Structure 1
Amino acid sequence: MDIGAKLKAIREERGMSQRELAAKAGLTNGTISLIEANRTSPSVASLKSLLDAIPISMAAFFSTLEDSETPKVFYRAHEFTEITPGGDGAVSLRQLGKAEHHALQVLHETYPPGADTGPEAIAHDGEEAGIVVRGCIEVTVDGQTSNLQAGDGYLFDSRLPHRFRNISDQTCEVVSACTPPTF
């Protein structure tokens, strides 16, 4: 998905200038310009701030085509929606299906060594839960921090500020869910 082009199209559709979006999201208009030109990739936290300023949910922003008359039940790995494509040590978030048509959002998350969701904590409506499938992840929720290993999990009110970081030297994978799909 071309994140920059989609962000620009939605911003223009809503009649917002880059400067206005930047002010509402707490970023510079130069940053907005770089993102829209695909010259930089936003962190998860920055993208969340941008989408909150528009406002549009991550689920709606990254919605995939899904036949509304015949609900899709099974998805192959290549059919997941890339919310953040990863690469170059960045977090990869892959969404199962079109979350805006369901009461639950499911993500397959991959954190390379040193990757995180961004320097700022994220907060959004709903509840969030996940299980570490492989590796180790540092999770901070409302000031409480824990290092979770494969087989460990978390469950919290996602209105609380939270952040995920891989402080290990191995890739971490997490399968998570959010309800309602507001992330």
Structure 2
Amino acid sequence: MPPASPQHRTFGEKLRFHRESRGLSLKELATRAGISVGILSQVERGINSPSLRTLSKVRTALGLPSSFFFDDDHPPASNSGEAEFVCRVADRPQLHLGPDAPHKELLHHGSSRVFEFMTIELPPHYQSGSSSYPSEKGGYVLEGEVVMTVGKKTTTLSVGDSFLFDGILPHDLRNPTDRTTKLLWIIAKLPNDLLL
């Protein structure tokens, strides 16, 4: 039986499509991603809201861009007269994983060949898990403050502060305040020849 269409709107259905398109079983993808088969199965069936750390592991295991996670309900239509390079504020692709998880908005439609940029809102007292994959990451604090650890160094950033680091280094974020923190976040994809 062929895999379901990728146009399904639920995250779990899109994830199943990409897994089956690569000929991977639940167990094979779970092993590659370093997560349990049970969690992966629940995510595909829509009965588990995965953490960003879990999503990152699955995305990396499938070789998908981070834009894969975002709902893009209003992509620019080719006959709408809108310039294809524009993403209007009302049409930003969104990622919602629940009230205690970060809210992300892509600042472009679709998957970029070179880099992706987005805003991330960290809820009060949010603590991310550690992440690490080949990339360059940078950004700018728009609101609030964030405690950022990259490698073995930890620092606090406030409004107007910016950052740039090698994404292969383990890194995590924490909002130490009672208010939402908002970041501009940029991910540059490394070309294959730089990954050798």
What's the TM-score once normalised by structure 1's chain length?
0.85
Alignment map for 1:72-83 (pairs within 5 Å): 72-82=84-94
- Write out per-residue CA displacement over residues 84-133 of structure 1, whole angstroms, 9 at most, x where no aligned residue: 3143211112112236334231111000112233x2x2122222111111
Runs of 4+ in 1 over 4 A off after TM superposition: 60-71
Which residue in 2 is equivalent to 1:88?
99
**Could you tell me which of 18, 31, 41 is aligned with 1:23?**
31
Partners of 2:71 and 2:189 in 1: how far apart?
Answer: 15
Whichever residue aligns with residue 112 of structure 1, its letter is: P
Which residue in 2 is equivalent to 1:113?
124
Partners of 2:96 and 2:190 in 1: how far apart?
Answer: 19
Tell me the number of residue pairs that the alignment of Structure 1 and Structure 2 aligns. Answer: 179
Task: Indicate the structure with greater strand content.
Answer: 1
The question of 1:151 aligning with 2:163 is answered no
Q: Quote the RMSD (CA, aligned, Å).
A: 2.5
State the structure with bigger RCO (CA 8 A, min sep 6), 1 or 2: 1
**Could you tell me which of 5, 24, 49 is aligned with 2:13?**
5
% identical equivalent positions: 28
Against the structure 1 CA distance between its residues 180 and 71, is the aligned structure 2 distance closer, same or farther, given a 3 Å change threshold? Answer: farther
The question of 1:171 aligning with 2:180 is answered yes
Partners of 1:68 and 1:122 in 2: how far apart?
Answer: 37
Whichever residue aligns with residue 52 of structure 2, its letter is: V
Larger Rg: 2
Alignment map for 1:49-64 (pairs within 5 Å): 49-60=57-68, 62=70, 64=72
The question of 1:47 aligning with 2:59 is answered no
Against the structure 1 CA distance between its residues 61 and 169, is the aligned structure 2 distance closer, same or farther, given a 3 Å change threshold? Answer: closer
Partners of 2:23 and 2:69 in 1: how far apart?
Answer: 17
What's the TM-score once normalised by structure 2's chain length?
0.80
Against the structure 1 CA distance between its residues 73 and 55, is the aligned structure 2 distance closer, same or farther, given a 3 Å change threshold? Answer: closer
Query: Given that residues 126 and 158 in structure 1 are in contact (C-alpha distance below 8 angstroms), is that contact kept between their aligned partners in structure 2?
Result: yes
Unpaired runs of at least 5, structure 2: 1-8, 192-196
1:87 alignment partner, SS class: coil
Whichever residue aligns with residue 173 of structure 1, its letter is: K
Query: Given that residues 102 and 181 in structure 1 are in contact (C-alpha distance below 8 angstroms), is that contact kept between their aligned partners in structure 2?
Result: no
Query: Given that residues 105 and 118 in structure 2 are in contact (C-alpha distance below 8 angstroms), is that contact kept between their aligned partners in structure 1?
Result: yes
Partners of 1:24 and 1:16 in 2: how far apart?
Answer: 10
